[in-house]
Chains A and B, each alone.
Chain A
């Protein structure tokens, strides 16, 4: 069932202009609607697919040479943005005096409002938008051949906000951000869009295009009778468009494919995608699919998205039993220079490739498994990129950035949350990704769930029973403490939390000389397999660089008869120098 809020978006008052945006993520059916609209204005005997109108997208400002005699390649990015707005709002160069007939313009961009004079979709010249959507599983099947990539790459692209964000004055183009398959759609359905947005589902068009389009075209002011629309729909049946393309060509066909019109069927994904690909798409786009009434077929793990700056894409799917020519530093790990498989039991496994793609095989009904992605996948990818990470939480304490290292159970997460409760900022919990540059060491913040045992939660005043449970049999809760910044932060010191039975006081002592290397070595993340992936020489170079760049302290405390406040006080004093 479609989200009722979407239907309400179509009931907003019409905007004052003539433009009707035909908005869609690529390969969603935009061209089909444009074909129907073109056919409505063309004699049936004369219509061919190469006559399609409204294909000029607004990011292309090359028409300024016709409108103003202006070669826009001489403008900078900001001026190019203004030119785009001007070309849309300046009616003086339109060839007719008609103010009623809608002008349809295709766009794949996300909707955004923009500053005055820089509006990418100016409300003053807009009447409405028609948002064309399609089941993302079918989009993937069409996207891959059109752009000449395999299905996995298509699925990755559909979930990545990376395309078209920069303007290109040399090609007379403003930025043209597509967003992801989800965010593109969500942007047009957002409540602050100031004109009506009519949703058209490709699947509804396929069942009955006349009934689907008739009310939408009437609402945006395109005069046509039901009979005329029926003729246009008949003219643009998929087989006819395909045949027309075969005979006459179609200028919008990608150079990477022989034909623009391939299958056109709804639900073809069932014969094309494998289970892992379906699960990945449903994981990536489930909220959007739910809103648009596309039913998921799989119970999909709910994974918190990794921030884009980590450069790691997560897929769900089968992980092979082994890697050819691999080494096994542990019985459950096999690795080559570029791929690593970690098995967590019979039907649970993780594979990380080339520092950029993680494939997770895990039962869908599990509790939180983000620890596998946020911990294992991220640290393995870091190793594959030639860097290391520290088994440490990192907190900005006042102006100082402190990495809190320690073995499992030493209290890294508990201490981090206690510092956060005093107003300090958690940059990451448990896994600190290191970057080495010009003799300094910085860390990459990212959101990693905090894991706490019951007694730690109690000590922090948190309700253990109300927090999400961590998967994997360990009786811990797992939650996201706060959204960290994106920019790397330089690490000012490392403090190793060291609870010991023979310790009587809470104390802080700096480690010097060669002991720094051995102390840090004990707290490198994945230290048993890091040398196997990085090579021993690189691993020890990085370890030594870390020891040279950052002061290291050991914070000792008894295992009983101590207080969290004492530890936190000492860290705050340390941070003040």
Chain B
């Protein structure tokens, strides 16, 4: 049954089974081992297509990120892309607009994408591994069209689409981090970060709140940030609305790592 849309949106992580509810969309349950259950608040349409859209929204937009938390991954905000020549992963931080620019541009240049919005990491002793996500890569329809990417719409009354891009489906070593943003007139397109700059980039990537393990503490968060700061990183600035030149600088930096 459709939920009352004036009811609150809830995420309860206080019990063994985490429960999330978005009235009118549905509910999720995340078990201790990361297993997920989804209940859709059915719509009134006859072909059920919007129910399937809601199910995918609950699965990829909500249950999967929380499941990754429960499975012990360290979650960071951003986009992960893999380059076959190097067999290594690039993490691109920034807001959803900036990482979507990166996703479209890297996909056009032959990179495989591993996940966007949140990316699961495993911090091993001598390396950081990026794990692929199963959720589709999402961006605005207009951006997908401008990049010539095939897509399918996620929901009615939304401009968000899932794009058909090459995916990399196995874990990959993280080799570099670029923090994306729109370039201002006086800025360089790629500025490698050093010292505190690296720590600052790492800090901005780290997931907090619901993306942070309930068992985690400030010490863990600090350790994760320091580990992430050990990876070479830089501030990447693209021109709006034509970011092409900036990709050349990003890739030149990547190739020198």
Interface of A with B (CB < 8 Å)? 62, 65-79, 82-83, 86, 89-90, 93, 116-118, 168-172, 253-255, 257-258
Q: Which residue of A lies closest to B69 (CB)?
A: A69
Which chain A residue lies CB-closest to B24?
A79
List 27 A–B pairs whose Cβ atoms lie within 8 Å, in order of A's numbering. Answer: A65-B77, A66-B209, A67-B11, A67-B210, A68-B9, A69-B11, A69-B20, A69-B211, A70-B62, A70-B65, A73-B138, A74-B56, A74-B155, A75-B25, A75-B158, A76-B155, A77-B157, A78-B5, A86-B8, A90-B9, A118-B5, A170-B100, A170-B138, A170-B141, A171-B100, A255-B182, A255-B240
A-side contacts of B211, CB under 8 Å: 65-66, 69
Measured between beta carbons, the chain B residues less than 8 angstroms from A170 are 96, 100, 138-141, 143, 158-161
| Nearest chain B CB to A259 CB, angstrom units | 9
> Contact: B61 with A73, CB < 8 Å?
yes
Shortest CB–CB separation between residue A172 and chain B, in angstroms?
A: 5
1-53 of chain B: CB within 8 A of chain A: 5-9, 11, 20, 22, 24-25
Are A171 and B62 touching (Cβ within 8 A)?
no
Question: Is B183 interfacial (CB-CB < 8 Å)?
Answer: yes
Secondary structure call for the B interface = mixed
B254 at the interface (CB under 8 A from A): no
Cα A255 to Cα B237 with chains together (Å): 10
Measured between beta carbons, the chain B residues less than 8 angstroms from A169 are 155, 158-160
Q: Interface 1/0s, chain B 125-137, versus A by CB < 8 A? A: 0000000000100
Other-chain contact of B208, A66, A72, A76, A77 (Cβ < 8 Å): A66
B210 touches A66 (CB 8 A): yes
CB < 8 Å neighbour of B140 from A74, A82, A171: A171
Say yes or no for B95: interface residue by CB 8 A criterion.
yes
**Are B118 and A258 in contact, with the CB atoms below 8 A?**
no
Which of these, B66, B156, B160, contacts A69 with CB under 8 Å?
B66
B154: interface (CB < 8 Å): yes
A73 to B159, CA, bound (A): 9
Partner of B157, one of A68, A69, A76: A76
Residue of B nearest to A260 (CB): B184
Q: Beta-carbon contacts of B178-219 to A below 8 Å, as 1s and 0s?
A: 000011111000000000000000000001111100000000
Asked whether A82 and B9 contact (CB < 8 A) given A75-B61, A171-B97, A172-B96, the answer is yes
Minimum CB–CB distance for A514 against chain B, Å: 48
Residues B117 and A71 in contact, CB atoms below 8 Å apart: yes
Q: Which of A68, A74, A117 has the most CB of B within 10 A?
A: A74
Within 8 Å of chain A (Cβ to Cβ): is B57? yes
CB nearest to B50 among chain A residues = A76
Residue among B22, B24, B56, B158 with most chain A CB within 10 A: B158
Determine the distance from Cα of A560 to Cα of B135 in the docked complex, in whole angstroms: 81
Whether B60 sits at the interface, judged by CB under 8 Å, is: yes
Q: How far is the CA of A79 from the CA of B61 in the complex (A)?
A: 13
Query: How far is A481 from B135 in the complex, measured between Cα atoms in Å?
Result: 58
Say whether A74 contacts B20, CB under 8 Å. Answer: no
A348 nearest CB across to chain B (Å): 42
> In the complex, which residues of chain B have a beta carbon less than 8 angstroms from the beta carbon of A117?
5-7
* 16 more A-B residue pairs beyond the given contacts A71-B138, A116-B6, with a C-beta to C-beta distance below 8 A: A70-B11, A70-B20, A73-B61, A74-B58, A75-B57, A75-B158, A78-B157, A83-B9, A90-B9, A117-B7, A170-B100, A170-B141, A170-B143, A171-B140, A172-B96, A255-B183
The 7 closest A-B pairs by CB, nearest first: A74-B61, A117-B6, A66-B209, A69-B210, A170-B140, A74-B57, A170-B160
Q: Which of B76-122 contact A (CB under 8 A)?
A: 77, 95-97, 100, 117-118
Give Cα distance in the complex from A257 to B182, angstroms: 12
A399 → chain B closest CB, angstroms: 33
Contact A255 B184 (CB under 8 A): yes
Distance, CA A170 to CA B96, complexed state (A): 8
Q: Give Cα distance in the complex from A62 to B99, angstroms.
A: 13
Task: Note all chain A residues with C-beta closer than 8 A to B24.
Answer: 79, 82
Across the interface, B156 reaches (CB within 8 A) one of A68, A76, A172, namely A76
Instruction: Decide: B160 and A73 in contact? CB cutoff 8 A.
Output: yes
Min CB–CB distance A79 → chain B (angstroms): 6
Residues of A within 8 A of B77 (CB): 65
Residues in A with CB closer than 8 Å to B143 are 170
Which of chain A's residues has its CB closest to B211's CB?
A69
Closest-by-CB residue of A relative to B95 is A62
Interface residues of B in 211-248 (CB under 8 A from A): 211, 240
Instruction: For the complex formed, measure the closest distance between the CB of B27 and the CB atoms of chain A, giving whole angstroms.
Output: 12
Q: Which of B8, B159, B210 is the one whose CB lies under 8 Å from A65? A: B210
Q: Write the chain B residue with the least CB distance to A116.
A: B6
